[in-house]
Amino acid sequence: MNDLGTSVKDPLATRLTLDGPLVLQSGISLSPVTIAYQTYGTLNADKSNTILVCHALTGDQYAAGKHPLTGKDGWWRHLIGPGNVIDTSRYFVISTNVLGGCLGSTGPKETNPETGRPYGLNFPVITIRDMVQAQARLLNQLGIDKVFCVTGGSMGALQTLEWAQRFPDRITAAVPIAGSYRHSAQNIAFDEVGRQAIMADPDWAQGNYLEEGTVPKRGLSVARMAAHITYLSEPALQRKFGRRLQDRDNLTYGFDADFQVESYLRHQGSTFVDRFDANSYLYITRAMDYFDLAEENGGKLANAFKDTPVRFCLISFSSDWLFPTTESRAIVHALNANAAKVSFVEIESDKGHDAFLLDEPEFHETLRGFLDGAARSVDLQDVTAEGAQ
Amino acid sequence: MTEATTTVPTQMQSGIRVDLQLVADQIKPNSRVLDVGCGDGMLLAYLRDQKKVDGRGLELSMARVSGAVREGLAVIQGDLDSDLKHYPEGAFDYAILSQTLQSTRNPKEVLEDLLRLGTYAVVSFPNFGHWRVRLELLLRGQMPSTPTLPESWYDTENIHLCTIKDFLTLVDNMGVTIEAGFALDGHGKKVSYAATGWLANLFSEQALFVLRR
């Protein structure tokens, strides 16, 4: 598909504006809506080999390849590529910047056409469903009706579950990784700490920092630092840093970063502000907080997947305390109640929530096996013969 | 122990274990199957490839689950004592429980669950009425250790062992119909005598029954 293939050649600016407004879950009609995306691989002749990869809270559409801002490889570099688990010589991978994001998709930092100024806090509150509706509309306009697989970790898992609930006949397989069917009180609590840190920064300027010419660096950086702790595990932190001192032999009896772990977190915070928008952080965490598949199905999660034809593979990590295995298991039980086709593995790892981004061979082999099985079940056509048109 | 046991499988030409082959023979093509305690999914893979069965599996061991999922099978990690209740009534044509009944916390409840979620329950188990077992206890005065049941009393997972006769009494009390029954040797191969007779209870090392509500 040449029209889609061009996006690979121009990785900095692949965006598409949706035809017509997007009616949000809140009832607000948003227009225009632009979605930035990246693609990897080639769409096959019958357009049946698409894998939609959904990013996490602070991720973006650069799941593979070089990131234009950071210069680093994409967040799923270990998984996506020719011959890799998500094999781009076989699958057509598409990754979008979520609605509300800050790397090209319509979000609080983009210009409000009504005022000619950045949306800021005038941007409507969005939900995971809104993000998924925007993705679905994008795929419609790209002419992709059927999606072979939707997958993602963390917030990507929430989007994946929303896809499975909302469009069960449009997707063959769903792989929610390190996720949940709803944000727990603890999840909401951590998000709130992050938001309060941002809003407590005077440079946030009531959300108008873009116009004021300031950047709420301190607030966003603290939000990132607190969140980053939740992505790791206690043993992993201990192993990586222990109580080791940073570039010094003795304690300084001050509040400088004496410990390596402090220095590490400060670095995480300060590099984050260069690539992420503070208001986006507010909006996206809010979207995650509002997510509850059970609640919107009369308190019964099983109702979200009534007679679902989708093949599921749930993957959790043993040391993930942000989205613990119990959350995935609850989803498995709800799927069992529908006798759905579901695979479920908890991967033994001490790397915490972030394990879904890391080189975890057992996780990767599990995903590879599941994708192979799902591809066999639908006789997925190879790109090689028909794709070269 | 040098002799083959239920945990050291004998392979047939087709690549599937003898005891599993007999289980597979009970399953009609294109049916829906739940394999409880499915291990690495050998039976499910066979049923999928040979009989176009729509299969699901439940397995306690994460390592085995991982192997099964890599084979592209719909297998989940879980505990049958707590997880069977999540499946809806009549969701499957067959619910298979192979060599696992004796290690469940509540075998009767498990059987009830299998017959609730499956039209047929296919159940196999080691026979504690086998003459060697009887002789071990009688002559040595110690908990029996046989080729089929080699573990010591303190490290065995088999907390609810029964004889074929015990099993038949239970299913009779439950009002369950026996559709088919097979007396088996230590390798899981069929032997000639009737599964419900006294000969089987004394001479067969295992048994396999197809049950229906």
Say whether residue A342 is in contact with chain B using an 8 A CB cutoff: yes
| Mean pLDDT, residues B197-203 taken together | 94
Give the model's pLDDT for residue A201: 98
Chain B nearest-CA residue for A366: B70
Q: Is A172 left (phi over 0), alpha (psi -120 to 50) or beta?
A: alpha
Q: Do A342 and B76 touch (CB under 8 A)?
A: yes
Residue B48's pLDDT band, with cuts at 50, 70 and 90, is very high
Domain count along chain B: 1
Assess whether pLDDT exceeds 90 at residue A194: yes
Structural domain includes residue B91: yes
Give the model's pLDDT for residue A384: 61
The three-class DSSP label of residue A249 is coil
Mean pLDDT for chain A overall: 93
Task: Give residue B96's domain range.
Answer: 18-128+162-212
Assess whether pLDDT exceeds 70 at residue B11: no
DSSP-derived pairing of the beta strands A80-81 and A147-153: unpaired
Mean pLDDT for chain B overall: 90
The three-class DSSP label of residue B30 is coil
Terminal-residue alpha carbon distance, chain B: 39
SS3 content of chain B, % helix, strand, coil (to 5): 35, 25, 40
Q: Model ipTM?
A: 0.84
Q: b vs e for B153-190, b when ≥16 Cβ sit within 10 Å of the residue's Cβ?
A: eeeeebebbbbbbbbbeebeeeebeeeebbbbbbbbbe
* CA proximity to B6, closest of B195, B175, B148: B148
Give the model's pLDDT for residue B4: 36
The CATH number of residue B196's host domain is 3.40.50.150
Give the model's pLDDT for residue A121: 97
Structural domain includes residue B203: yes
| Mean pLDDT, residues A373-380 taken together | 90
Neighbours of B54 (CB within 10 A): 15
Top residue of A305, A316, A332, A343 to mutate, by most chain B CBs within 10 Å, is A343
Q: Is A49 left (phi over 0), alpha (psi -120 to 50) or beta?
A: alpha
CATH topology of domain A187-285: Rna Polymerase Sigma Factor; Chain: A (1.10.1740)
* CA proximity to A78, closest of A383, A287, A367, A326: A367
Which residues of A are marked as active site?
A: 154, 320, 353
pLDDT, tens digit (0-9, with 9 covering 90-100), for A6-49: 344 444 469 999 999 999 999 999 999 999 999 999 999 999 99
The two three-digit tokens of residue A334, written as one number: 């709800």
**Distance, CA of A234 to CA of A253 (rounded, Å):** 25
CA distance A131 to chain B (A): 29
| DSSP label of B140 | I
pLDDT, tens digit (0-9, with 9 covering 90-100), for B61-115: 988 998 999 888 999 999 998 899 999 999 999 999 999 999 999 999 999 999 9
Residues of chain B above pLDDT 70, percent: 93
Give the model's pLDDT for residue A30: 98
Chain-centroid distance, C-alpha A26: 21
The two three-digit tokens of residue A192, written as one number: 């709130």
- Nearest 5°: CA angle at A102, between A98 and A107? 70
Which residues on A lie below 8 Å from B54 (Cβ)? 341
Q: Phi, psi (5° rounding) for residue A372?
A: -60, -50
Assess whether pLDDT exceeds 80 at residue A307: yes
Q: Do B62 and A348 touch (CB under 8 A)?
A: yes
**Which amino acid belongs to residue A40?**
Y
Residue B14's pLDDT band, with cuts at 50, 70 and 90, is low
User: Can you name the residues that pair with B122 across neighbouring β-strands?
Assistant: B96, B210
Q: Could you check whether the bond before residue A113 is cis, i.e. omega within 30 degrees of 0?
A: no
Q: Phi, psi (5° rounding) for residue A272?
A: -65, -40
Residue A3's pLDDT band, with cuts at 50, 70 and 90, is very low
CA distance A270 to chain B (A): 39
Give the model's pLDDT for residue A370: 95
The two three-digit tokens of residue A35, written as one number: 């979605």
CA distance B56 to chain A (A): 7
Assess whether pLDDT exceeds 50 at residue A386: no
| Mean pLDDT, residues B165-181 taken together | 97
| Mean pLDDT, residues A332-355 taken together | 95
| Mean pLDDT, residues A361-387 taken together | 84
At a CB cut-off of 8 Å and minimum separation 6, what does A278 contact?
A198, A201, A204, A209, A215, A216, A219, A220, A223
**How large is the greatest C-alpha to C-alpha distance in chain B, in angstroms?**
50
Structural domain includes residue B155: no
User: 3.40.50.1820, 3.40.50.300, 3.30.2290.10, 1.10.287.3510: which CATH number matches A2-183+286-387?
Assistant: 3.40.50.1820
Q: Do A339 and B66 touch (CB under 8 A)?
A: no
Domain residue ranges in chain A: 2-183+286-387, 187-285
Structural domain includes residue B11: no
CA-CA-CA-CA torsion sign (A185, A190, A193, A195): negative
Neighbours of B202 (CB within 10 A): 17
Which residues on A lie below 8 Å from B75 (Cβ)? 343-344
Residue A382's pLDDT band, with cuts at 50, 70 and 90, is confident
Residue B17's pLDDT band, with cuts at 50, 70 and 90, is confident
Token pair 């075998």 in the structure block, residue: B107
Structural domain includes residue B2: no
Residue B146's pLDDT band, with cuts at 50, 70 and 90, is confident
Structural domain includes residue B4: no
Residue B12's pLDDT band, with cuts at 50, 70 and 90, is very low
**Distance, CA of A111 to CA of A279 (rounded, Å):** 13
Residue A230's pLDDT band, with cuts at 50, 70 and 90, is very high
Chain-centroid distance, C-alpha A324: 17
Assess whether pLDDT exceeds 90 at residue B148: no
Give the model's pLDDT for residue A346: 94
The two three-digit tokens of residue A294, written as one number: 């059970």
DSSP for A61-81, please give it. Answer: S-SSSB-TTT-PBPTTTTTEE
Give the model's pLDDT for residue B19: 81
Q: Do A342 and B62 touch (CB under 8 A)?
A: no
Cβ contact B75:B33 at 8 Å: no
Higher pLDDT, A384 or A169: A169
